[in-house]
Every structure is written in C-alpha cells, then in structure tokens.
Amino acid sequence: MADLQSRVDELHQLLNRYSFEYYVQDNPSVPDSEYDKLLHELIDIEDTHPEYRTPDSPTVRVGGSAQSTFEKVRHNTPMLSLGNAFNEEDLRKFDQRIRERIGDVEYMCELKIDGLAVSLKYENGRFVQGLTRGDGTTGEDITENLKTIHAIPLKIKETRTFEVRGEAYMPRQSFFNLNEAKAKNDEQAFANPRNAAAGSLRQLDSKLAAKRKLSVFLYSVNDFTQFNANTQSEALDELDELGFKTNQERQRVQTIDDVIAYIEHWTEKREALPYDIDGIVIKVNMVAHQEELGFTQKSPRWAIAYKFPAEEVITDLVDIELSIGRTGVVTPTAILEPVKVAGTTVSRASLHNEDLIHDKDIRIGDSVVIKKAGDIIPEVIKSVLDRRPDNAEVYHMPTHCPSCEHELVRIEGEVALRCINPKCQAQLVEGMIHFVSRQAMNIDGLGTKIIQQLYDNEKIKDIADIFYLTKEDLLPLDRMGEKKVDNLINAIEVSKNNSLEKLLFGLGIRHLGVKASQVIAEKYGTMDKLFEITEEDFVGIHDIGHKVAQSVVTYLENEDIRALINKLKEKNVNMTYKGIKTSDLEGHPDFKDKTIVLTGKLYQMTRNEASKWLELQGAKVTSSVTKSTDLVIAGEDAGSKLTKAEKFDTAIWSEEDFVQKQNEIEG
C-alpha cells in the first residue's frame, strides 16, 4: 500500500505540473495523450481505493456529482463594482482627482476580461470555496464548478490563508466549439462568451461545467496582510509565484498620457487576443495610496474601468411606451424593430426622459442609432434624419399617469416627470418587486408575474400583505402547483428572520441604498429607535448625507408608513439588527482603536487568524505602514514594511511578543 500511496503522490505531482504548464504557462511539455493516460490511471486507483481520493486530487477537474441548488454565501468583504470612464475626458478627470489628493502616482493598467467575477478562498494553501460576485454582498457557492477550471490551483506552494478575486471566462476557441456542438444538437447557441461562461458556472452538474473548458485570470488580493506586496503589481507578481494565472499584458505607467496610449494600443489589438475584453482597468499602484483614497459606497476611489466604445446599430423606432418606477418616476422606453447589438437581440431601449426625446428630436417611425451603454443597457443615441419618413410622429408625454390617471408633476431640479399618488398601482407593484428582491428580503419564488397576479386579484395591496398570504391565495395562480406553493410559503416564512438592514432597504426609501441601510441598522439597532431619530442625528453618521437623512425622516414621519410597520410586526417580521455591532466590541485597551500592520511569516497562527483576533480586540488591521500606524507585528522575513516602521519610529513587536500578549489577555 505504501507503493500505491507513493504512486498516487507521483501522479498528483505530475498532473498538477502538466496542468500548470498547459493552462497557466501556455507551454505544455507533454502531449494531451500523456496527461489523459496519467489522469485515467489516477481515476482507476481512486475508484478501486477510495481512501486515496482527496479534495485536491486532479481528478476533481472532470467534475463530480450533481447538486440541487447553489448555496448563498455572504462575502467577507463586499465585491464592489468599478466606476466607469467612457472617454479621454473622464480619464483625465479621474487622474486630476487622484493627483489633487495624493500628488505623483504610478498607475497599473490591466485588461478588463469579459467574463464572470469570482472570489476564491484558500485555507492553509488549499482551495476551499469559490463564490460568484452575486449582488456584491452575497454570492453563490460554485466551488465544485470552479474546481473544474485547470487554471485554478487546488493547492498552492505555501500554507497561506487568504482570498483572491478574478474573472472566469470562456476562451474564444472554447466558445466556438461549444456553439458548434449546440448547432449539431439543434440547441440555441450562446450569444457571447461572457453569457456562455456565466451559464457554464451555474450548471448544477459540474461534469457539464468541466466540458466547457473555462479559464480564469486573477486580478486582486482581498487582504494584503496575507501578502508581502506593497503595490498592485507586486501582488500580481506574488500570485504568479504562488502558481496562479494572472494576465501578463498588464503594464505599470507613470502618467495619464501613458494610460491613454495603453488604451489606444489595446483598442486596436483587442481582436487578436484569444479571449474577449470589454475595456481597461486603471488602478493606483501603491496600496498605501489606495488606502488613503478609500472607497465610496459603491466603488474604490483609486480605480476606474475604461469601457470600449459600444457597438452602434440602426433600427426602426416603432412606438414609445411608458413605465412607472417604484418612486413614481415616469420613464419613456423605445419599442424597436428587433436588432442584434453586442451579441444580444434588442427590442426595447431607454429614452431616459422627455427632455432628451425633444432635444434630440427623436420621433416615432424614425430610424434610430442604438448602442449598449457599458455593453449592457440598450439606449437610443439619435435619429438618422436623412432616413426620416414623412409620417414620423412627434412624441408628447402625457399629463396624467398612464397607470392611475393622477396628474404628473415635475419636481424642481429634476428632469423626470413623476406620479406622486401613493396608491398608484404601478408604483405599488414595482415597490413589491423591489421588496422581495435578492438584496432586500430575498423571497425566492416570488417573481414579477406572481406579484402582478396577486395584486390584480386583490390578494396583496402593500408589502405587508405578502406575509398574510395562504396556500389558498396562491394555488389558483398560473403555473402554481402544490410543491411550488409550499416552497414559496416557506421562503416567505424564512424571510421574516432577516436582519433589519434587509427590511430597511426593501422598504424602498428614496436615496437609501444597501450600504446606508446597513450603516443605519447597525447604528440604531431597532426599527422603533429609528422613529425617534432626527435628520441631524442621521447626518452625524459617517457615510450618511443630507439627501438620505431627509428622505428617511420624511418617510418614517408618514402615518401610513407607521401603520405598515405595525402590520409587518403583527406577522413577526424581524425589526432588529442581527449582525455584529462594531460598537459592542469592548476590545482591550492595548489594541482598541489602534492601527496595526502584520508583516512577515507567522508560525504560531495564520495572518488571517491574527487579524481576526486583533479586530475582536477593537483594532484596525491595515496592510500598509504609514505615519498613523500604531504598531507593526513583524514575523520572519518582514522586509520593507519593517524598514518603513523603523523609519517612522513605529512600535514593533515580534511574533513572540504578540503571542505573549495574547496569553496575558486570554489568561
């Protein structure tokens, strides 16, 4: 048996090496047939002797057993989106903002891969969990599917615990092969590689995902305390050394002119790449500068994504329809002759508002130019005047709401028309759709069509009525069988236990986003407490501005809203914050409110364990040493961070000092 174990270990080593050479270095040393022969030998051994099968065996690349669903998992830190730049002016404004705050900076330019953002967690050097971005706060666990991507190492050289993020994508050749196979089977082809990649990673059977031949590029480290890097470029180099696949077309540059030159080069050369890109990402390279610049609620201030100019096509504008959002805003939408734009068929496109329609003289019957903003949202750019027919019709917005007939108003300072009737059907339905959405109460199975049916049948008139629904209310609806109804009733019941921030966001208070809901819920703890808070109190909270404060207070002062909250309470919908309150952490006086940096190799614990322990003591753990750093805990081979700490005369502890202090505190 010792000989067999030795052979298994040898097969692991060989297969991992060959896979790395082929999928990461693009430089195979053996033919595919040799890899396949060794892989089948290992599969045969594991089938005969299951005790030799390990979670990081190369055999997991072929996929395992099918699962019934993907578990939703909260990200340790949010996966934020990037702000966009669409032209040179946007880039120069970004550069100006950076230099006004920081002075001279170095930028890192990277290709923006057109795929699916993923987060990979490693514990003690082993890949343990992979998540989709989801809504940025919560993603789906697609670990088994990600294991089938050969470019993702199942085990790395060092026993580190960390999280790395990147973009899973489908190479163009894999995409062509997949669509060829679909055509042979009379199946609908994927519109583009991005959709194909997303669809592949959401296959419940990982064997199917394995056949799709996806790859990945890693582009960021979640927590720099686990790395020796001081810059984005050093972090990517360190990932290379650990055996990860990063994009090698990256470039460090000194000026915004260099950034623009890099963009121009890849705008011209993008089609020669074996994968799709949809832009260029520009990041401030120094981590210390990144920390100084910080974040908005939605994105980092130190990075921006330049989006390539969108593909433009011409089609006919057949009609203009109006939709009413949950805040009463009336939005005109162009109904188009279906046309293909950037890989998908478009039949509707945004016209934004009445002023835009008139300013651009867009008429019903016109031939119009369509593009996808950011390659995602279709919009009408302009009319083609030399194609205008004689019967083209000038459009006039109605004076009354098409849903409830209430007079439309234009609020001072806004371009949009708005229906201000609180009982407007369209607003109520849209509000309910928002309330059950993933980032809000997350009631799975309660979609737009069901909500519309329930409203039309007078089963629900407000969001609270959702919690009063019975099987008898749901069974008569279209396509609602016994099992589906039971699942929905259960999902509604489960949602009652959501933390307060979910309910707050779900209420649809104007200007109140996900982050602000979280901040307010954590600060005040209960819904009852919020009714007592003044506008001045809200403004005093970091991250809460005047608009949000005013909107929340105005909303909660409404008697109808108070009645709605009481109606929710009667069905035991949770009204308290359930997360960890940072203010509740008593901490320890030696660490509370101190800024601490971990560097070098720790042997008695992982950096992640050390960071979490310090945070529980009330400390703020950062990755860069600055003048404001209170303490540096230096393990073996601490390097430049230790040097910087000595320069700033910052307090320095060894790992032994730190462990001794832990033992003192914990007794």
Q: How far is residue 261's CA from residue 241's CA, in Å, rounded to a whole number?
A: 29
For the chain, the farthest-separated pair of C-alpha atoms sits apart, in whole angstroms, at: 88
CA angle, 444 then 446 then 448, to 5°? 130
666 known ligand binder: no
Cα–Cα distance list, 313 to 87, 332, 657 (Å)? 20, 20, 66
- The sign of the dihedral angle between the CA atoms of 605, 609, 611, 616 is negative
82 known ligand binder: yes
Q: How far is residue 50's CA from residue 33's CA, in Å, rounded to a whole number?
A: 25
109 known ligand binder: no
Report which DSSP code applies to 476. T
CA angle, 632 then 635 then 636, to 5°? 140
401 known ligand binder: yes
Give residue 364's Cα distance to chain centre.
Answer: 38
482 known ligand binder: no
Q: What are phi and psi of 574, to 5 degrees?
A: -60, 140
Q: How far apart are the first and last CA of the chain?
A: 46
- How many Cβ atoms from other residues are within 10 Å of residue 602's Cβ? 19
Q: How far is residue 302's CA from residue 498's CA, in Å, rounded to a whole number?
A: 33
Amino acid at 618: G
Sequential DSSP letters for 364-432: BT-EEEEEEETTTEEEEEEE-GGG--TT-B-----SB-TTT-PBEEE-TT--SEEE--TT-HHHHHHHH
> CA-CA-CA-CA torsion for 458, 460, 465, 467, nearest 10 degrees?
110
Amino acid at 125: G
Report which DSSP code applies to 346. E
Burial letters for 351-381: b for 16+ Cβ neighbours within 10 Å, e otherwise?
A: bebbeebeebebbbbbbbebbbeebeebbbe
Amino acid at 13: Q
172-184 and 193-201 helices cross at what angle (nearest 10)? 80
What lies within 8 Å, CB to CB, of 298 at 6+ separation is 80, 81, 83, 513, 515
- Token digits for 525? 């703890």
Out of 37, 72, 93, 112, which one is annotated catalytic?
112
Amino acid at 77: T
Residue 314, CA atoms < 13 Å, CB-side half-sphere: 9
Q: Is-catalytic flag, 483?
A: no
- Token digits for 343? 């890989």
133 known ligand binder: yes
321 known ligand binder: no
581 known ligand binder: no
Residue with tokens 């019903």: 364
Judge contact between 564 and 509, C-beta under 8 A. Answer: no
Query: Residue 370: which of 313, 418, 409 has the closest Cα?
Result: 313
Q: How far is residue 328's CA from residue 326's CA, in Å, rounded to a whole number?
A: 5
CA angle, 574 then 579 then 583, to 5°? 120
Q: How far is residue 237's CA from residue 56's CA, in Å, rounded to a whole number?
A: 24
- Token digits for 605? 């614990």
Amino acid at 40: H
Judge contact between 287 and 110, C-beta under 8 A. Answer: no
Number of H helices and E strands in the chain, helices first, is 24, 22
- Token digits for 541? 């909270």
32 known ligand binder: yes
Binding-site residue ranges for Zn(2+): 401, 404, 419, 424
Residue positions annotated with a catalytic role: 112
Binding-site residue ranges: 32-36, 81-82, 110, 133, 167, 283, 307, 401, 404, 419, 424
Binding-site residue ranges for NAD(+): 32-36, 81-82, 110, 133, 167, 283, 307
